[in-house]
């Protein structure tokens, strides 16, 4: 997902999309789940040089990812679409100067209850043994940059260093997520539920566990038949409800939670065993996937009303 905060910010992206041939490129890559540049140029009946110019514009805007294929000769760069949606704010959001930002490493959960298939890995190695739940309690879990499980939950303490005497007006959490299938399966739906301080916020259904192409930041040692990347999801709890990528998923508001600078903030992600789609959860952190970020949190606040 790309989030455009205002029309001026999206100008370069609009220019990239303002071309019939670039729209055709995107449609082909979506239909074929990616394609190398030689094949793509032949299908479009244009030269490799002309294609390179179009791909560069799409890549600069974050729409397309280009990676090197390991086999073949000549130009074997592989192109794939890098996002599932574009969120555009037509009206500028109110300017908020009181914002606290923090991030949480994938392995820094404070509680868990998971079922295999499951595991954790740092940027350099798998932590312990795959499908052995005991390693979710191992001290090396703090180094984890990716974790996965079939059902259950992980819960994180969000650091709350909002200045004293403030109320929390909005919590925005972004994370790269996908389902968890044995190996990978791009069509593997999973219902992922979100909670803050035990309050159910709503759910999002991940469409799959993606492994068709290598994640842009996924390390070279990672196994090619395992999941490679996820989708960047933005969860916002505000005064008008709870939203995923701008789409309302529940009527739970930040006012219902009554959060202040003194509040604990416990964020839980769960795939319950009674969900309609029990397809697991993978959380990608820095060094994995397509976005190279941990779980990022932005908290807007204002003076506490007396």
Domain boundaries, the chain: 2-86, 99-303
Instruction: Retrieve residue 225's tokens.
Output: 């038949």
- Residue written as tokens 């244009």? 46
pLDDT at 169: 97
Residue 93: the pLDDT is 56
Distance separating alpha carbons of residues 153 and 270, to the nearest angstrom = 4
Give the CATH fold of the 99-303 domain. Jelly Rolls (2.60.120)
Residues 235 and 244 sit within 8 Å (Cβ to Cβ): yes
Share of the chain above pLDDT 70, in %: 93
Q: Encode pLDDT of 123-146 as tens digits.
A: 999 999 999 999 999 999 999 999
Q: Are 201 and 237 in contact (CB under 8 A)?
A: yes
Q: First-to-last CA distance in the chain?
A: 39
Cα distances (angstroms) measured from residue 14 to each of 10, 20, 92? 6, 12, 17
DSSP 67-82: EE-SSSSS--EEEEE-
Look up the pTM and report it. Answer: 0.78
DSSP bridge pairs for 195: 200, 268
Angstrom distance (rounded) from CA 261 to CA 243? 23
For the cut 60, the answer to whether the pLDDT of residue 95 exceeds it is no
Q: What's the pLDDT band for 94 if we cut at 50, 70, 90?
A: low
Distance CA 191, CA 205 (A): 4
**What CATH class is the domain 2-86?**
mainly alpha
């Amino acid at each position: 997902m790309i989030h455009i905060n205002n029309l001026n910010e999206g100008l370069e992206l609009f220019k990239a999309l303002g071309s019939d041939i670039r729209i055709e490129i995107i449609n082909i890559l979506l239909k074929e789940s990616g394609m190398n540049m030689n094949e793509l140029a032949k299908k479009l009946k244009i030269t490799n040089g002309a294609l390179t110019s179009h791909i560069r514009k799409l890549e600069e805007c974050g729409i397309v990812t280009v990676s090197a294929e390991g086999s073949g000769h000549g130009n074997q760069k592989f192109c794939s679409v890098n996002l599932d949606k574009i969120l555009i704010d037509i009206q500028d959001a109110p300017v908020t100067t009181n914002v606290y930002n923090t991030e949480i490493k994938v392995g820094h959960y404070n509680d868990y209850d998971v079922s295999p298939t499951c595991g954790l890995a740092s940027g350099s190695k798998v932590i312990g043994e795959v499908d052995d739940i005991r390693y979710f309690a191992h001290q090396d879990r703090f180094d984890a940059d990716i974790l996965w499980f079939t059902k259950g939950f992980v819960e994180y303490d969000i650091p709350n260093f909002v200045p004293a005497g403030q109320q929390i007006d909005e919590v925005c959490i972004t994370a790269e997520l996908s389902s968890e299938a044995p190996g990978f399966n791009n069509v593997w739906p999973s219902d992922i539920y979100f909670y803050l301080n035990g309050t159910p916020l709503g759910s999002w259904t991940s469409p799959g566990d993606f492994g068709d192409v290598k994640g842009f930041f996924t390390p070279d040692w990672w196994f090619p038949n395992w999941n490679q990347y996820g989708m960047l999801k933005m969860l916002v709890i505000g005064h008008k409800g709870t939203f995923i990528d701008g789409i309302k998923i529940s009527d739970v508001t930040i006012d219902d939670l009554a959060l202040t600078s003194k509040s604990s903030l416990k964020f839980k992600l769960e795939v319950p065993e009674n969900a309609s789609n029990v397809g697991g959860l993978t959380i990608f952190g820095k060094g994995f996937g397509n976005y190279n970020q941990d779980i990022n949190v932005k908290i807007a606040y204002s003076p506490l009303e007396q």
